[in-house]
Amino acid sequence: MVRPHTHLHPPAPPAAPRLAVSLILVRDAPADKADDGGIEVLLSRRSPAARFVPGAYVFPGGSVDAQDARALAGADARSDQSAQDLTLAHAAVRESLEEVGILLARTAEGAWVSSAQIAAHIDRHQPLAPQIAARGWRLALDAVFPFGHWTTDRDYPIRFDVPFLIASAPQGQQAEADGVEQFDPLWIRPAEALRRHADGQLALVYPTVRSLRRLAGFDSAEALLAACARGPVMPPSCPRAGLVQGREERFMEHELPFGELALVCPDGQLAHELAWQSEQPVALLRHLRRLTAPNAGVMTGPGTNTYLIGEPATGYLVLDPGPDDAAHLQRIMAATNGDIRHIVCTHSHPDHSPGARPLQALVETTRMSVPPITGMASRPTARADSRFTPDRELASGDELQLHGQAHGQPLGHTLLAVHTPGHAANHLCFLLKEDALLFSGDHILGGTTTVISLPDGNMQDYLDSLTRLDTLCETHGVEFVLPAHGHVLHGARQVIAQLRSHRLRREARVLAAVQQAPQGAVDDWLALAYADTPRAMWPVARHSLLAHLQRLATLHPQFGIERVLSA
How many residues are present in the chain? 567
Q: Work out the burial of residue 502: count CB atoms within 10 Å of its CB; fewer than 13 is exposed, 13-18 middle, 19 or more buried.
A: exposed
- What is the model's pLDDT at position 237? 97
pLDDT attached to residue 561: 85
Closest CA to 159 of 11, 267, 16: 16
- Helix (H), strand (E) at residue 289: strand 288-292
Q: By the 8 A CB rule, do 234 and 217 touch?
A: no
Give the Cα separation of 250 and 254 in Å (integer): 12
Looking at residue 465, its pLDDT comes to: 98
Residue 262 three-state SS? helix
Residue 405: its pLDDT value, please? 87
pLDDT in tens, 445-482: 987 899 999 999 999 999 999 999 999 999 999 999 99
Q: Which residues of the chain have pLDDT under 50?
A: 33
> Nearest 5 degrees, angle CA 358-CA 362-CA 366?
170
| Coil vs helix vs strand at 363 | helix
The pLDDT assigned to 448 comes to 83
Give the pLDDT confidence score for residue 170 in this predicted structure: 96
Dist. CA 567–CA 563, nearest whole Å? 6
pLDDT value, residue 453: 95
Q: What is the 3-state secondary structure (H, E, C) of 135-182?
A: HCCEEEHHHCEEEEEEECCCCCCCCEEEEEEEEECCCCCCCCCCCCCE
